[in-house]
Amino acid sequence: MRNNVLSKTVLLVLCLTFAAALAPVPAKAAPLTLTYANFPPASTFPCVQMERWSREVEKRTNGQVKINTFPGGTLLPAKNIFDGVITGTADIGNFAMSYQPGRFPVSEAVDLPLGFPSARVASLILYDLIDKYKPMEFEKVKILTLFTCPPANFMTSKPFNTLNDLKGMELAISGTGAEVVKNLGGIPIAMPQSERPEAIQKGIVKGVVSSLEVLKDMNYAAYCPFATDTNLFVVSFAVVMNKDKWNALPADVKKVMDDLRIEQADWTGKYVDDHVTEALTWAKEKYNLQVIHLPAADNAEIRKLVKPMIDNYVTKVSAQGLPGARIIADIEMLAKRYDKKESGVEKKPGKKRK
């Protein structure tokens, strides 16, 4: 009897084991795939940060999310990215606010010639400013991060040692930088990046005004043996997500992306600042680039000459009901907080915000 019971028990266990082995294994859920549109070439820093962010999201979500990236305007052109994200043509997009003047009045303040020392400082200022004011300009999207390019400087075919040297000098530039050059006495010439090297070689322009990583990335060091340090202005960028796509994400994925917001701003600023240092070293070694520092009196004069632009901004946005003077004051306060050169102590970015 006892052996009979034992035999039945063993048989039951074997049957259950066999049944379990035959039972279908639930298929692993396919990752959620998101599209990310960007407009510069893949090798440039806005796309480098895109790839880094995408890898971090995929890693931190343990493969729950996969990001398909589209650099170089292959999904949406630069001026269409923001609206393309709103309508869902792309799930995520990186764009420059200055490409649509007047549409991003709070963000525009950071693009003014305020003399930021680095992309990292300017990026953290932009992040904190938008986080504080939560402007209507972004109400239709979810902000994933914000950052800027490094400060713009002069790269020229002949020396620019003092402000007097700039008078009447034709310089290739685009966007809000044209007004800066004009206020300083130069002649701004609008032209696409692709035409600038030939224009410099033919003497149509005597140089470009841009952040200095292009010395290497665009090989401008081959045509511009002089770089004059002025730290004029930056260009602001935002990475945004379609609101419906964001709302549909699982809570743990949202947390991963929120935790990356200020981290990515900080990382991008430091990355491109380091890239500028690398480009300068490369240009000095390969092309004997000469870096020129203006006299202190000229630097002070630059701030006076561009002040009307800042005053005009305050007047313009105040007429729209925005606190223009307070926005500028906040930027100046944040600049002091984040400029490690001023205190000699590395400042940590602010608390993560959602």
Kindly tell me the sign of the dihedral angle through the C-alpha atoms of 110, 113, 116, 120: positive
The one-letter code for the residue type at 304 is K
For residue range 69-112, what is the model confidence (pLDDT) as tens digits?
999 999 999 999 999 999 999 999 999 999 899 999 999 999 99
Residue 80, domain member (yes or no): yes
The CA angle 56-41-58, to the nearest 5 degrees, is: 15
pLDDT tens track for 294-333: 999 999 999 999 999 999 999 999 999 999 999 999 999 9
Q: Does residue 20 form part of some domain?
A: no
pLDDT at 25 over 50: no
Helix (H), strand (E) counts: the chain: 14, 11
Of 14 and 48, which is predicted with more confidence?
Answer: 48
Q: Provide, rounded to the nearest whole percent, the portion of the chain with pLDDT above 70.
A: 88
Q: Are 280 and 216 in contact (CB under 8 A)?
A: no
pLDDT exceeds cutoff 50 at 345: no
Is 213 a member of any domain?
A: no
> Domain tally for the chain?
1
What DSSP designation does 351 have? Answer: P
- Examine the pLDDT at 9 and tell me if it is beyond 70: no
- Whole-number Å distance between alpha carbons of 92 and 113: 29
146 pairs with which residues across the strands? 238
Output the domain CATH number for residue 261.
3.40.190.170
40 within some domain: yes
- Judge whether 103 lies within some domain: yes
Spatial neighbors of 161 by CB under 8 A, at least 6 apart, are: 228, 292, 294
pTM score of the predicted model: 0.87
Amino acid at 196: R
Residue 299 within a domain: no
**pLDDT tens per residue across span 226-242:** 999 999 999 999 999 99
pLDDT over 50 at 55, yes or no:
yes
Neighbours of 195 (CB within 10 A): 13
- Mean pLDDT taken over the chain: 90
Residue 63 maps to a domain: yes
Examine residue 211 and state whether it is found in any structural domain, yes or no.
Answer: no
Domain range spanning residue 52? 32-150+235-287
- Token match 């608390």: residue? 351
What's the confidence (pLDDT) of residue 29?
Answer: 67
Reported as a single tens digit per residue, the pLDDT across 165-195 is 999 999 999 877 899 999 999 999 998 777 8
The Cα 263–Cα 265 span in angstroms is: 6
pLDDT computed for residue 22 by the predictor: 52
